[in-house]
Copies of this chain bind each other. A is one copy, B any other.
Amino acid sequence: MTACTKCGSVENILKSGFIRGKQRLFCKSCEVHFTINLPQKEVNKPARQITIVDIAKSLGIAPSTVSRALNGSAEINASTRQEIIRVATEMDYRPNLLAQSLNRGETHTLGVVIPNIERPFFAGVLAGIQKVATEAGYRVMICQSNESHATETLNVQALVASRVDGLLISHSKETTSFEHIKLQLKKGLPIVHFDRVCNEVETAKVVQEDFEGSYILTEHLILQGCKRIAVCAGPRELIISISRLNGYKAALANYGIPLREELIYHTNFIQGESLLALDGWLNLPQKPDGILAVHYANAIDMIVELKKRKINIPSEMAIVGFGDELIASLIEPSLTVYHHSPFQMGGIAAKMLIDNIIHKDTFQPELQKMKGKLIIRQSSVRQ
């Protein structure tokens, strides 16, 4: 019959049930259980990656030595190192980043959470992040919240589970509670906010000059002779919305123009929403003669609608928007905007985060405001 794997005896072998599909046996002599292993045929595996151990074996040295050679440790003989490196390149060795990360406790990966990758602004930011990160030897992992708080929370969890070294985040419009951020911050995860920031926590932040931008745009309309300026504001929950609205209010106040509640409309990033606002304003006994759109896309929509209604821009209605994209210069009339640079913003944010990661103890979070620029186009210039 079958022999015991330990004592080799073929007697005193008792059956002892099935386990994992195999017959289990028990040797009464040496009191040991065992199963019989089929000599599983050598299925030719798909060529495992070369490891540090392979190199060590092929040179007859210890893996630790190989590791030291490859990592530029000082405690190694120059000639030994050279030889190891030679063999390593010859065998086309690639370090296993998973093992490295597990051991070192850092992944050299940045996590990014944005509302939507398809918005040109965020795509630009991402590009900026990628550039800086890559140059600094970091990888980037991106998640979209799709403007949902729940998804955003999941995103953060997923990134943390992937053990990213730090987090770059621009909040969803829904997000009003920041527990998910506070939790990770408390655990020591470096976090940097950009654009849609959160004032409840002490993180480094990079934002646009929201207040100033709106102020300048509003002032521009005033100087063009507008007397009744409406504002298409963003979601009430977003800090940037509030800042921009405040810039608008400040400009009005500064020029002694009364603030009218009926000329303020809060949108919610819903398609066609700004048209409701516009419709409301046009039905007012006293129509506005200028519009500030806190998001340039709303301005675009309204321009289209105004043209449909044969309302002349800018003579009957001047219009300006916050943020710049190709389309703003191509639409007719072209749109006056407060121009900013998403790409740069991404770069700055990434740099901040990497600083934070590297100098975890000494890092001082700060708020950086990015200056924009008023670009005057046809939609607001009254001859």
- Could you tell me which A residues sit within 8 Å of B by CB distance? 46-47, 49, 94-99, 101-102, 107, 116-118, 120, 123-124, 126-127, 130, 139-144, 157-158, 160-163, 187-188, 300, 304, 326-327, 330-332
Question: Which B residues touch A187, using CB under 8 A?
Answer: 46-47, 49
A-B CB contact pairs (8 Å), 5 listed: A94-B160, A117-B130, A118-B120, A140-B141, A330-B330
4 interchain residue pairs of minimum CB distance: A46-B188, A98-B102, A118-B123, A327-B327
Does A141 lie within 8 Å of B144, measured CB to CB? no
Question: Which B residues touch A118, using CB under 8 A?
Answer: 120, 123-124, 127
Contact flag A107-B98 (CB < 8 Å), given A130-B144, A142-B142:
yes
Closest-CB distance, A360 to chain B (whole angstroms): 9
With both beta carbons as reference points, the residue of chain B lying nearest to A129 in the complex is identified as: B117
With both beta carbons as reference points, the residue of chain B lying nearest to A119 in the complex is identified as: B123
Question: Which B residues touch A98, using CB under 8 A?
Answer: 98, 101-102, 107, 162-163
Please measure, in the bound complex, the distance between the C-alpha atom of A142 and the C-alpha atom of B127, giving whole angstroms.
11
Closest-CB distance, A333 to chain B (whole angstroms): 10
With both beta carbons as reference points, the residue of chain B lying nearest to A307 in the complex is identified as: B332
Please measure, in the bound complex, the distance between the C-alpha atom of A116 and the C-alpha atom of B127, giving whole angstroms.
8
Does A161 lie within 8 Å of B127, measured CB to CB? no
Question: Which B residues touch A130, using CB under 8 A?
Answer: 117, 142-144
The 8 Å CB contact of A102, one of B96, B143, B300, is: B96
Please measure, in the bound complex, the distance between the C-alpha atom of A123 and the C-alpha atom of B330, giving whole angstroms.
21
Does B326 lie within 8 Å of A161, measured CB to CB? no
With both beta carbons as reference points, the residue of chain B lying nearest to A154 in the complex is identified as: B134
With both beta carbons as reference points, the residue of chain B lying nearest to A141 in the complex is identified as: B141
Question: Which B residues touch A139, using CB under 8 A?
Answer: 141, 158, 162
Does A144 lie within 8 Å of B123, measured CB to CB? no
Does A163 lie within 8 Å of B96, measured CB to CB? yes
Does A95 lie within 8 Å of B144, measured CB to CB? no
Most buried by B among A94, A116, A118: A118
